[in-house]
Amino acid sequence: MLSHAQHRPWVAPFPWVSLFWGERGFCFLQRHLFPFRLAKAKQQVSYPVGHVTDSRGPWCCPQGSSIFPFEVFNIVFYLGSVRLRGGKDEFEGTVQVYLNGIWGIICSNNWDDNDASVICRQLELGERGTAKHMPFAELGLIPVYWSDVRCHGDEENILLCEKDIWHGGTCPQRMAAAVMCSFSQASVFIPIRLADGSNAYEGRVEVYHAGQWGTICDDQWDDADAEVVCRQLGLGGIAKAWNQAYFGEGSGPVLLDEVRCTGNELSIEQCPKSSWQEHNCGHKEDAGVSCIPLTDGAVRLTGGKGSHEGRLEVHYGGQWGTVCDDGWTELNTQVVCRQMGFKYGKHALEKYFEESSGPIWLDDVSCSGKELNILQCSKREWGKHDCSHQEDVRIICHPHNDGHRLLLGLPIRLMDGENKKEGRVEIFINGQWGTICDDGWSDKDAAVVCRQLGYKGPARARTMAYFGEGKGPIHVDNVKCTGNERSLADCIKQDIGTHNCRHSEDAGVICDYLGKKSSGNSNKDSLASVCGLRLLHRRQKRIIGGKNSLRGGWPWQVALRLKSSHGDGRLLCGATLISSCWVLTAAHCFKRYGNNTRNYIVRVGDYHTLVPEEYEEEIGLQQIVMHKEYRPESSDYDIALVRLQGPEEQCARFSTHVLPACLPLRRERPQKTAPNCYITGWGDTGKAYSRTLQQAAIPLLPKRVCEERYKRRFTGRMLCAGNLQEQKHVDSCQGDSGGPLMCERPGESWVVYGVTSWGYGCGVKDSPGVYTKVSSFVPWIKSVTKL
């Protein structure tokens, strides 16, 4: 009998799960573990010898199961699992990490909120984490594993962070790393209005809260904030911020301060700002805006280092065009700068601003200096000129203060990325979201997009509908940014809606791009010591009936490609990495082109077949070993091993995106031990072959179902899987031959139970896919690979 006083671990009869004293109750039945939270039985029930009861009485579990009550056991999962201990609730506590079968702690030196946020996200306890510190003395005898953890803050798992292995030495004040987790609260709609302006397009900004209207302090108030206010009010055109109670002082409370919009938000509640009525302001600092309608005669400056300088453009007939410099004077410059809200300006004679490709709208402009806008000046008819774009007017305006910047009212957003910092770029024009064609799309364009969205880190462009195809119009093509523009609108060089593209060329970006992290020794050791570990699979994002996978979500996925002197050899088969130097695939993949290793190349770390990625690596083949019983005219024994070129166990470089899958136990039956199964590949999606790696959940089917459908062709060395209902077809087709059927064991280790082999058509009703059963070939695999 087990006693509550004991504190030693009890290891389950299956090796991938360890049980420790903790906070859960479990029923153990036929090698399965069931967590329970049931109330006590109302009457005494009998238990077989060896079952556990305690002073609180018996517990309800399935008949015939062993019973372990609350506070007896807690499941501990795979290498790198984390938990919190010693806090007031489940959202806080000292961080403990599971390595080498033992829980340990982290020294708190340099422990910060970025590290804490990774822990909270890994535990699904919220997106935000606050770093805390806990004295060693309160933790008892527990090993210290790491020190100086250095997370960027967006990693999915603490294993992905750089860190130092603890070798003793100094740990400040002998403090362990701890966290407090919290969920970001959803924003509440904030009513807003403009007051005391001369028209409906301008005024003092007032917001409504707790039953009253109040003002906003102008600390950090700029045109980015004005852009959002104008957009929320449905007022297009050019937004300008006004400070120091320009539209008069308000009479209610000052409700907000330190508003810091990026300019891309759709409403002010989405912007960072102070708490309600937290400020150090008086009404002399009330913020205001003007939302200048984008009508004929509106002006802007483009192509410079900011919106205060550049090529002068004027809006006419729905299109921006330039102004010829014939007869241009400094008085003209003053009128234009004043029209845009700047104090004064000067004519820029330098030709360092990029030339326009649009129309030239105005020529022979002559202002007296008293005009309020360029339309009041003398000029030729719209479009009448004798100039080239080398004569475009270029000016520099000087603002009252740094807060006066102009933004064109074209909001942008990122769609279908794996997080909010990446995705397909979409731009809002004429009341409709649309995409951007990737012709000429570069990292400079991505830098402007990310800057407009408020991200300050490195930016990377993605092409070829990397984040999937959009559904709206294609608004823009041939974007040309220098990288210094504040708004993507400053980079648009041709008419809206003019393009020669399809949605397969939609442009995307990745903001705050971290790049391939250089792993310390501790990271390399931890990755090399495990199999079946998915570090990057948070969101379930085609294969028929399937969906896009996450980058790095299936790190053992391999592409077997035909070798080409042009480097564009086509995809032939999928495969599975089972060690650094060995790949598992189907024998029929070599049926057409033979087993000459020079005909093939293996690509690991691939996601989008046409977009090179830093984790990708192409490796030559050293040896192809097909099962000796395989016959080309048969589907039995359809399994092969590929030895990659390279030193022993140093062929493919392991990373978060490249890791081996686990092999099953001999004669292991996944239908009973691992019901959560997926197929992956770049195969037939029902319309075409996919560019991005696909995944699809798929149920394993009983042997009798497969035998009834395929008769004697189905042998004991095969599995079949798929949805039999017509509306739920999931299948793995041509391009996925040889690819993996992966199932998750309890404990989150992933095992390759099947190799995609054959079937009747793709996604055909009552015709599930057939897979070589890997567990039948484990002795052969180990004899060939020596693993």
Assess contact for 28 and 35: CB atoms under 8 A: no
Assess contact for 443 and 461: CB atoms under 8 A: yes
Is 595 exposed, middle or buried (CB count within 10 Å of its CB: 0-12, 13-18, 19+)? middle
Which residue is it, tokens 């731009």? Answer: 427
Q: CB 520: neighbour CB atoms within 10 A?
A: 17
From 307, 526, 635, 737, active-site residue: 737
Local structure of residue 668 (DSSP, 8 states): -
- Token pair in block for residue 560: 């077997």
From 286, 606, 636, 638, active-site residue: 638
Assess contact for 139 and 105: CB atoms under 8 A: yes
588 labelled catalytic: yes
Q: Distance (Å, rounded) from C-alpha 297 to C-alpha 306?
A: 21
What is the SS3 assignment for 625-644?
Answer: EECCCCCCCCCCCCCEEEEE
Distances in Å between the Cα of 18 and the Cα atoms of 50, 75, 343, 592, 766 are 19, 6, 72, 47, 40
User: Cβ contacts of residue 747 below 8 Å, gap of 6+?
Assistant: 16, 17, 75, 77, 78
Assess contact for 617 and 601: CB atoms under 8 A: no
**Length, in residues, of the chain:** 787
From 588, 608, 627, 657, active-site residue: 588
Is 716 exposed, middle or buried (CB count within 10 Å of its CB: 0-12, 13-18, 19+)? exposed
Q: Kind and range of the H or E element at 779?
A: helix 778-785
Distances in Å between the Cα of 487 and the Cα atoms of 188, 307, 406, 410 are 28, 9, 9, 8
Where b means 16+ CB within 10 Å and e means fewer, 5-27 reads: eeeeeeebeeebbbbbbeebbbb
198 labelled catalytic: no
- Token pair in block for residue 491: 């980079």
Local structure of residue 689 (DSSP, 8 states): B
Q: Distance (Å, rounded) from C-alpha 456 to C-alpha 440?
A: 23
Q: CB 537: neighbour CB atoms within 10 A?
A: 19
Q: Distance (Å, rounded) from C-alpha 531 to C-alpha 746?
A: 14
Ramachandran assignment for 80, one of left (phi > 0), alpha (psi -120 to 50 degrees), beta (any other): left
Q: Which of helix, strand or coil describes residue 107? A: strand
Active-site annotation, residues: 588, 638, 737
